Structure 1
Amino acid sequence: MAFIHYVECNTTHSSNFEIDVPMGFHWLLVITKTPAQFWVNGHLKEYPAHCAILYRPTQKVYYRACADHYVNDWIRFETNEPYITESPLPFGVPFLLDDPDYCHKLFELLVTEHNFNRGYKESSIDCLFRTLFNKLLESYIQDDIKPQYYNLLRLRNAIQNNPGEYWSISKMADYLRISPGYLQNIYKKAFGISCMDDVISSRIRLAREYMIHSHQSIAEIATRCGYQNVEHFCRQFKQLTGIPPKKFRKHAKG
């Protein structure tokens, strides 16, 4: 289990903010939302926004603002959990997060659980910690996270949360204010799937749910999933699932 001493989200400081602890007392995890300077391997170095840094107990902690303000999420805690104490994550070295919004939501939940004495507080905090450290590991092993990646990630979340919208390559490119050709190139490199294939996959995944758990007609489901032509929907559904929608529904209901 992990015991939280203090946790905060969106903590904002002025340009002269500085943390200087020659020898820390507890575990400390910091996630930056603005650029900052960190003392790493005997040198002061600037790191971009959306970095995470984990300090173990007794480790020197030094970081400071390097712009007109500094914003971060941070948590000071104690733990004997091997997934933290024996983690392959580097100690005292910042690394970029591949999904900072997700990690921020986990921090918000940790703040809530820490501040309210609810019945399942300890187990909830334990689950949130494990999820957070899973996300940190996913980020650490991912190579070459560029600033444009975060915009692509927001686009992908928008697609998967609203697959029934009218998505075209031009609309997606406008969303990011880049050219359609450039979008297709960097999207495939980032996620291993083209942007339009991602749209189609999200639509068919949603359609499967409607066909299993609703009584709407196939035409109604096609419309809800962003298709203006039911025949086109049926073709794409069969391409991705291997069977036509009617047959899929019959098997699912059976």
Structure 2
Amino acid sequence: MATIYYVGCDAAHPGDFVYDIPEGHDFWLLILTRTPAEFWVDGEIRPYPANCAALFPPRRKILYRACADRFVNDWVRFASEEPFLTETALPVGVPIPVADPDYCRQLFRLLAVENFFDGDYRELSIDYLLRILFHKLLEASRTTVRQPYYHELLDLRKRIHADPGYPWSVPVMAEHVHLSPGYLQSLYKSTFGISCMEDVIQCRIQLAKERLVHGRQRIADIAAQCGYPNVEHFSRQFRQLVGSTPRAYRKSVNEASGSAR
């Protein structure tokens, strides 16, 4: 288990901010930058962009500083002897670009909440959150090359998955990321391994399956909520992906659920 000494979110500092601990701490320090910064790496100060994570083990020199008008970061000081940390393949003392900084910031905020409250499962929750955070950072450290507009595409994909019923089209999605429709389609497919419209359709059908199983709405209403004003088109696309009509799918799942009781 890990012991958190302190966790801070959205900590803002002036442009002359410097964090210099020549002998390091007696605990681990993990920071996530939200603005550009300069770090001491391999004997020299180097500039790094915003949205980088840096892990410092105990008794390791720490030096980073602002390189703009202000410096904003999330950070956590903690102790742990868990192998996922002590034997980590994550580079130490070297900032790495984070693929999904918003997700990692949410993990920092959850760590702060769990550390503040003294619940029965506090230590276990903190341990799980740290493991998830380190897994995300390991993924980031192993990805050396990212597609152009990666963060813009990631934000678009989050919007699609959060609201698949929105009237998405390639021109609408292209407008969201300020790219041409053709360039968007090429980048999206090479980045996520699926075309943008295929992603929309899969999200819509997944939402429809959930509504069919867990609700009593009419199929026409579910179709409209999932972005299909035409119920025949919805039924045809649902059957192509699922292998049965929406009505047959609902019936088969309900029958299977009833026999399992």
Please give the TM-score of this superposition, normalised by the length of structure 2.
0.94
In the alignment, the residues of structure 1 paired with residue 235 and residue 143 of structure 2 have an alpha-carbon distance, to the nearest angstrom, of 37
Q: Does 1:144 align with 2:142?
A: no
Q: Give the aligned partner of residue 227 of structure 1.
A: 228
Using the TM superposition, give the Cα deviation of residue 181 of structure 1 relative to its aligned residue in structure 2, in angstroms.
1.2
Runs of at least 5 residues in structure 2 that lack an aligned partner in the other structure: 256-261
Q: Give the aligned partner of residue 8 of structure 2.
A: 8
In the alignment, the residues of structure 2 paired with residue 67 and residue 239 of structure 1 have an alpha-carbon distance, to the nearest angstrom, of 53
1:203 match: secondary structure? helix
Q: How does 1:95-244 map to 2 (within 5 A)?
A: 95-145=96-146, 148-244=149-245
Q: Post-superposition, which runs of at least 4 consecutive aligned residues in structure 1 deviate over 6 A?
A: none
Using the TM superposition, give the Cα deviation of residue 13 of structure 1 relative to its aligned residue in structure 2, in angstroms.
0.7
1:215 match: secondary structure? coil
Using the TM superposition, give the Cα deviation of residue 143 of structure 1 relative to its aligned residue in structure 2, in angstroms.
3.2
In the alignment, the residues of structure 2 paired with residue 22 and residue 59 of structure 1 have an alpha-carbon distance, to the nearest angstrom, of 8
Using the TM superposition, give the Cα deviation of residue 106 of structure 1 relative to its aligned residue in structure 2, in angstroms.
0.7
How high is the sequence identity, in percent, across the aligned residues?
Answer: 52
In the alignment, the residues of structure 1 paired with residue 182 and residue 141 of structure 2 have an alpha-carbon distance, to the nearest angstrom, of 29
Contact map agreement 2:9 2:109 (CA 8 A) in 1: yes
In the alignment, the residues of structure 2 paired with residue 62 and residue 145 of structure 1 have an alpha-carbon distance, to the nearest angstrom, of 27
Using the TM superposition, give the Cα deviation of residue 147 of structure 1 relative to its aligned residue in structure 2, in angstroms.
6.6
Using the TM superposition, give the Cα deviation of residue 55 of structure 1 relative to its aligned residue in structure 2, in angstroms.
0.7
Task: Kindly report the root-mean-square deviation, in angstroms, between the aligned alpha carbons of the 2 structures.
Answer: 1.2
1:119 match: secondary structure? coil
In the alignment, the residues of structure 1 paired with residue 201 and residue 210 of structure 2 have an alpha-carbon distance, to the nearest angstrom, of 14
Using the TM superposition, give the Cα deviation of residue 146 of structure 1 relative to its aligned residue in structure 2, in angstroms.
5.4
Number of paired residues? Answer: 254
Residue identity in the other structure for 1:198: D
Runs of at least 5 residues in structure 1 that lack an aligned partner in the other structure: none
2:149 match: secondary structure? helix
Using the TM superposition, give the Cα deviation of residue 179 of structure 1 relative to its aligned residue in structure 2, in angstroms.
1.2
Residue identity in the other structure for 1:203: R
